[in-house]
Amino acid sequence: MTTTNTTAPKKKKKDDGMLFKSGDYVVYPTHGVGLVKGIEKQMVAGLSLELVVVTFDNDRMTLRVPVAKMATSGLRKVSSRKIMDDAITTLKGRARVKRTMWSRRAQEYEAKINSGDPISIAEVVRDLHRNVGQPDQSFSERQIYEAALERLAGEFAAVDGIDKAKATEKLEQALKAA
């Protein structure tokens, strides 16, 4: 029993090691890729909280996430190169469009986008992508497609160290190659 107690604090220290440094790119599931500005202490309701400060230039927004809530909030490091390669492979796959009502599919697509998982987002992009000669998208289909493409391109750009426009171009080329 004593050995399990000594390993538990080590696990906690491992979680503390997930602290981000200023300048790190991170992903917050509902907002996409952001830049860590630093970690600050703030008094909230009489409690001293340590907060990770993340800025999202796209939305001109600053987010402060309590260090204790990082794991449950979904804040994570940018994906590895392998995960992004898997997302590209997903883009090149065959579109799977369910024959359910659009409102239900739209909810599922939004949930996948907000999950923050690059492979799930790639599925949305793949399924909503329209090639030349295919029927036009509805306004809401186009909006969801663009939101998913933007979110995926943001993470792809951070992983590759390129700008978002070049990342979007590469993703669209992968879609056309399918």
pLDDT at 8 over 90: no
- Whether residues 111 and 154 share a domain: the answer is yes
Q: Which residue has the higher pLDDT, 21 or 117?
A: 117
Domain count, the chain: 2
- Let me know if 59 is exposed, middle or buried by CB neighbors in 10 A (0-12, 13-18, 19+): exposed
- Alpha carbon dihedral 146, 151, 152, 158, in 10-degree steps, equals 140
Q: Which residue has the higher pLDDT, 4 or 142?
A: 142
Segment of 25-34, 67-76, 144-153 carrying the highest mean pLDDT: 144-153
Residue that finishes a domain, picked among 19, 52, 77: 77
- Whether residues 86 and 149 share a domain: the answer is yes
- Whether residues 71 and 94 share a domain: the answer is no
- Which domain CATH number covers 26? 2.40.10.170
Residue ranges of E strands in the chain:
25-28, 32-44, 47-56, 61-66, 76-77
Q: What is the pTM (predicted TM-score) of this model? A: 0.80
User: Which range of residues forms the domain containing residue 155?
Assistant: 81-177
pLDDT score, position 4? 39
- Which domain CATH number covers 100? 1.20.58.1290
- 140 alpha-carbon distance from chain centroid: 21
- Whether residues 41 and 85 share a domain: the answer is no
pLDDT in tens, 80-105: 899 999 999 999 888 887 888 999 99
- Whether residues 145 and 103 share a domain: the answer is yes
Q: What is the mean pLDDT of residues 17-35?
A: 84
pLDDT score, position 19? 74
